[in-house]
A = this chain, B = another copy of it.
Amino acid sequence: MVRVGVVGYGTIGERIADGVAKQQDMELVGVVDVAPALPVRALVESGRGYPVYCGLPDRIPDMEAAGVPVEGTLDDMLEQVDMVCDATPPGIGMKNKEIYERHGVKATFQGGEKDAISPILFSSTANYDLAKDVDYIKLVSCNTTGMVRAVVAVDEAFGVEKAVATIVRRAADPSEIHKGPIDAAIPGKVPSHQATDLMRVMPHLDAMGFIITVPTTHGHVITMHVTLKQEIATEHALDVFRQGRRIRTFRIEDGFLSNTHIFDYLRDLGVPRADMFEVGIWEETVLAQGRDLYWIHNIPQEAIVIPENIDAVRARMGMQVDKWDAIDTTDRYLGIYKG
């Protein structure tokens, strides 16, 4: 049993915690936060029972006043874990890293953290092996995570030379009410860093990207154009996507008219938080013409990076040697395994 802690119990952290708790070969030792924000309150009210540690000892009374039982401090938790997944806001991870080092604890960090925090940029479907010897592992952002999965699937099947993406970025998560815009589309300078990131994890690739931020909350939507090493038919690409790991296809004709329809469908399925771990591809947007392949996919930004965080633990802790073996194990426990 690999012992894992989660530091930063916000939108990403709470989902990593649930994901780790489902891994039968990992033990979720506890979660750390610094205030009784809503995710922490929900954790208590839901009865999930993860031990809560407080990252700032002088805030323990605040948390207890809010009815949150506090098991101890960050240091207390670090004494009991092999590795942590750090999902704190950008900039905090860099400070936490020193504390982790002091305790000899390994860690993953999220895409918002500075590159300097890690010698590698990790996305398991592309470069699982890289994390085997690295104690502090930075993952790519949610957008890049989804792109990597889809592009790796196509690359392994047909060979990819170049990828050009336009990210239509949801400006905020649902309850990030202080973030706009309300009625504007915001272009980013070209190239967007997501393109650079894609090339860092898939260095044989030529990649370029646009980003435009829009007033939506239920998922980034990305248009993809890749140049293949061979001509294929649309149906070949569809087969790859339908079978691809951590990829889920939807049909507009079935009623999946928007990213919000996917979200709502997951609500109807009864999936916790209506979370989706997979990147979603609309089948009617997949089109192959000669060596050009086009598609549109949806990035459920709150949940998509969870599997890769768990994979990083598997890689570093030596739980699985083989990439797909690790990925399949994670996915089986998460309930998204495609046999």
Contacts and interface: CB of A to CB of B under 8 A. Distances in A.
Contact of A274 (B178, B184, B267): B267
Interface string A287-302: 1010010111000000
Contacts of A270: 46, 48, 272-273
Interface in A241-260: 252, 254-260
Contacts of A257: 175, 177, 186
B38 A268 contact: yes
A132 B39 CA distance: 44
Nearest to A36: B254
Interface stretch (A120-128, A209-217, A314-322): A209-217
B252 A189 contact: yes
Interface string A177-220: 11111111111111100000000000000001010101111110
A273 B284 CA distance: 27
A39 B225 CA distance: 32
Contacts of A212: 168, 221, 223, 296
Nearest to A176: B180
Q: How many copies altogether?
A: 4
A257 B38 CA distance: 10
A219 B292 CA distance: 29
A263 interface: yes
A333 B214 CA distance: 36
B294 A175 contact: no
Interface string A130-174: 000000000000000000000000000000000010101011101
A92 interface: no
Contacts of A43: 268
A248 B208 CA distance: 24
A285 B189 contact: yes
B172 A258 contact: no
A66 interface: yes
A331 interface: no
A277 interface: no
Contacts of A311: none
Contacts of A170: 185
Given A38-B261, A292-B208, A216 B218 contact: no
A182 B269 CA distance: 23
A168 B190 contact: no
A178 to B, nearest CB: 5
B223 A260 contact: no
Contacts of A292: 208
A42 B263 CA distance: 12
Nearest to A181: B177
Q: Which 3 A-B pairs have the closest CB atoms?
A: A42-B268, A184-B260, A177-B181
Interface of A: 14, 36-39, 41-43, 45-46, 48, 66, 164, 166, 168, 170-172, 174-191, 208, 210, 212, 214-219, 221, 223, 225, 252, 254-261, 263-265, 267-270, 272-274, 282, 284-287, 289, 292, 294-296
